[in-house]
Amino acid sequence: MFSNTDSGDDSSNDARERRHSLSGKIRDELGNSKPHKGNDAAWAAIRAVKQRDGGIGLRDFKLLLGLGSGDIGTVFLSELRGSKTYFAMKVMDKISLAKRNKLPRAQTEKEILESLDHPFLPTLYAHFETNQFSCLVMDFCPGGDLYNLRQLQYGKRFDEEACRFYAAEVLLALEYLHMMGVVYRDLKPENVLVREDGHIMLSDFDLSLICDVSPTLIQSASTLLKVSRRCRGSFILPSCIAPCALEPLLYCASVGTSKPHTRWKKKKQRESCEVDNRIAPLPELFAEPTNARSMSFVGTHEYLAPEVVSGGGHGSAVDWWTLGVFLFELLFGKTPFKGSENEVTLMNVLAKPLSFPAGVDVSDSAKGLIASLLVKDPHIRLGSARGASEIKQHGFFREINWALIRCTLPPEIPRPFNLEQQLSITGTDPTSQRNHDPTAKSTDFEHY
């Protein structure tokens, strides 16, 4: 099993124990499935194997080809034998990790994955171990990652509508992570995968920080919004407004009511009347791990926040900085502070003012959002006060319907996955013993 030792100053024991207890209860109550994936065919296939064999292990999967290699493991496209169901399996060599003192990172990732249940985050279908390997079975995303997808766009950058879509879904994933007491710390296009339906999924949580969070309801400071509608019969609430949030000052009578209000004119006014409603300000859920603190130097150089580079300690605001760099790269095809070498990049992060490339047609609202996220002082950075909720209210996201974003048509939908075609492209022989043996040396495939 993985070591339970903490990695430096990261991830308190108390937070770990609470998370382990919660994820255990969820697994017991749901039979190892997650609510938003309860009817998923992949879960049914996994459960069938467990019920038949009393468990699940490496023997039940056929490793088809390598999808990517990282610092703590290699990801394989795998097939659950006899099911035609495909998964991404992350295989980690525990002996190698122990020698490099990186077992705590693998443990952190497993604990986080066990607790997640969100459409834009991975589902952990199974976890099992051998004497040498630890394996995590997760969603396979046939659309690749946003870095490679960006390379295929005209000018190697996405148009603004696509950027808005991807940034909005990433923001919702980060909001959920922060609510769960997880600071992601590794946002970059390479870690944003594209599902078969075109929606995104964040990946790689071994650099994440587990911390305590205390969700709080705070009253919005926004003023009452008056809503006037001409109604015919009973007033129908918009689906995005909770009934308890409305305090009608005057109700409409239903058509055909025998005793209409005396102030209304007879039939015409009874059938068409003015309703004046006030929408009471809804309380906001504040679930930002503002007390999170880490001294670790983790992340990708071009995405590191100034507080990480300076070594003075950092918290959840690093995720809002990386969101700004992420949006900049999608829009302009490069990161804002990249230098000729890593040391120059780090100096630029600390001291270079933000500037936008000329000749790229980007709206003022997009530039304004990026500038607000890339404030070098984390205490006044957008998101530092009320987390994701204040970022969602920025004008750049004005057209986003947050409640229905899963119903939004993505910018691109991947072509249907074809295993034979994929194997022919990579030159992989599915009958080769190497495809069944994670100990075999593999080439460094592109990150999916």
Question: Which residues are identified as catalytic?
Answer: 186
Cβ-count burial of 184 within 10 angstroms (0-12 exposed, 13-18 middle, 19+ buried)? Answer: buried
| Distances, alpha carbon 7 to alpha carbons 10, 106, 191, 196, in Å | 6, 10, 22, 35
Annotate 329-358 with b (16+ C-beta within 10 A) or e (fewer).
bbbbbebbbbeeeeeebbebbeeeeeeeee
Q: How many CB atoms lie within 10 A of CB 394?
A: 17
For helices 160-179 and 317-332, the axis angle rounded to 10 degrees is 160
Distance CA 50, CA 196 (A): 26
Distance CA 76, CA 232 (A): 59
Helices (H), 145-301: 146-151, 160-179, 267-271
Distance CA 74, CA 91 (A): 5
Q: How many CB atoms lie within 10 A of CB 320?
A: 27
